[in-house]
Amino acid sequence: MSKAMLIDTTKCIGCRACQVACKSWNDLPGEPAAYSETWSSPRYLSSHQYTRIIFREAAAPDGSLRWHFIKRQCMHCLDPACESVCPVGALKRLPEGPVVYDDGRCIGCRYCMMACPFQIPKFEWGKAVPLIRKCTFCAERQAEGLAPACASTCPTGALLFGEREELLREARHRLGTAPERYYPQVYGDRIVGGTSKLYLTAASFEELGLNHRGFRTDLGEVPYGIYGRAWMSKVPLVALTVGGLAVGLHYLNRRLAAVQARQGDKEG
C-alpha cells in the first residue's frame, strides 16, 4: 500500500519543529537565518533545506486577519515528472510512496529540476561535484516501520502519516464534520494524477498565495510523468539523427579535404 501524509494546516502553529527534525535526521548543515517578506524562514527550499513552513496572512470570514502556516516539501507524486525525465534512472518512486534519488547514477543534467511542476529538486551549486537534493519522505525510516521525522516531531498532530486511501477518507471526514473549518478541497487528491502529500486548509489556495510558492492550482489532473515519458521517448531518435548528421559531416569534410589536397598536388 502507498503511504502518504495528511497536512492539516489548521492545526499547524508555525513552530518549525518539522524543519529542525528534517535537518537533524538528514544531517543537513545549519545556515544563517534569512526571512521572507512574510517572516518565513528560510526564504527558500535549497540543497540544505528539504522542508520549510510558509507563513501567510489572509482574511477570515469575519473580516479579521488570520495567520496560516503551510508545510512545503517534495510532494512525492504518484507518477513523478522527475522520474519520467531522468535519463539514467537516478530518481525512482518506490511502491511505498517515496520518490528517492541515487546520486551514484546522477549525471547532473538537471532535467528533473525543469520537469518538476512544484520546483522541488535543488542543485548543489556550491560544490565542485554537485548533486541533486530533496526530501526523500524518510524512505529509510519507512523501511524500518517508522514515520517520517517531521511527522514524528509535530507537537499538534498537524502531520498525519499513514496509508494514502485511509488518509483521504480521514480528510473527507474532517471536511464533512467541520465544513466551517476547512476550504472544501483536499489538495493532492487528484492534481497531476495525485500526490503523497495531502493538504487541508482554512482558506483557498489562491487566497493563500500558494501559486507563487509551488502549490499550483493550474496543473490539471493528468500525471506529468506522462508528458515526461512522451518527451524522453523521442531522445533516442534525436540522438541517432544528430549522431548520424555529425558522422556524415565528418566524412564529408574529410572528402573535401582530400579533394583539395589532390588539386593542390596537381597544381604544384
Q: What is the pLDDT of residue 258?
A: 65
Query: For 98-144, how does the pLDDT look when each residue is reduced to its tens digit (9 = 90+)?
Result: 999 999 999 999 999 999 999 999 999 988 889 999 999 999 999 99
The model's confidence at residue 261, banded by pLDDT at 50, 70 and 90, is: low
Q: What is the pLDDT of residue 238?
A: 47
Contacts of 197 (CB under 8 A, 6+ apart): 4, 5, 7, 73, 74, 75, 76, 188
What percent of the chain lies above the pLDDT cut of 90? Answer: 63
What whole-number distance in Å separates Cα of residue 37 and Cα of residue 164? 34
* CB distance 82 to 60 below 8 Å: no
Give the residue among 108, 44, 94, 101 at the shortest CA–CA distance from 73.
44
Q: What is the pLDDT of residue 267?
A: 62
Average pLDDT over residues 31-41: 79
Q: Are strands 52-59 and 91-93 parallel, antiparallel or unpaired?
A: unpaired
Residue 237 clears pLDDT 50, i.e. is over it? no
Return the domain boundaries, the chain: 3-230, 240-267
Q: What is the pLDDT of residue 167?
A: 98
Q: Which helix (H) or strand (E) holds 133?
A: strand 132-133
What whole-number distance in Å separates Cα of residue 59 and Cα of residue 215? 19
What whole-number distance in Å separates Cα of residue 66 and Cα of residue 203? 10
Average pLDDT over residues 51-70: 84
Average pLDDT over residues 26-36: 86
What percent of the chain lies above the pLDDT cut of 70? Answer: 82
Query: For 11-25, how does the pLDDT look when each residue is reduced to its tens digit (9 = 90+)?
Result: 999 999 999 999 999
Give the residue among 236, 227, 222 at the shortest CA–CA distance from 82.
227
How many Cα atoms within 13 Å fall on the side-chain side of residue 165? 3
CATH level 3 topology of 3-230: Alpha-Beta Plaits (3.30.70)
Give the residue among 48, 99, 101 at the shortest CA–CA distance from 74.
99
Which of the two residues, 53 and 37, has the higher pLDDT score? 53
Contacts of 1 (CB under 8 A, 6+ apart): 96, 163, 164, 165
Q: What is the DSSP string of 67-131?
A: EEEEEES---BSS-HHHHH-TT--EEE-TTS-EEE-TTT--S--HHHHH-TT---EE-TTSSS--
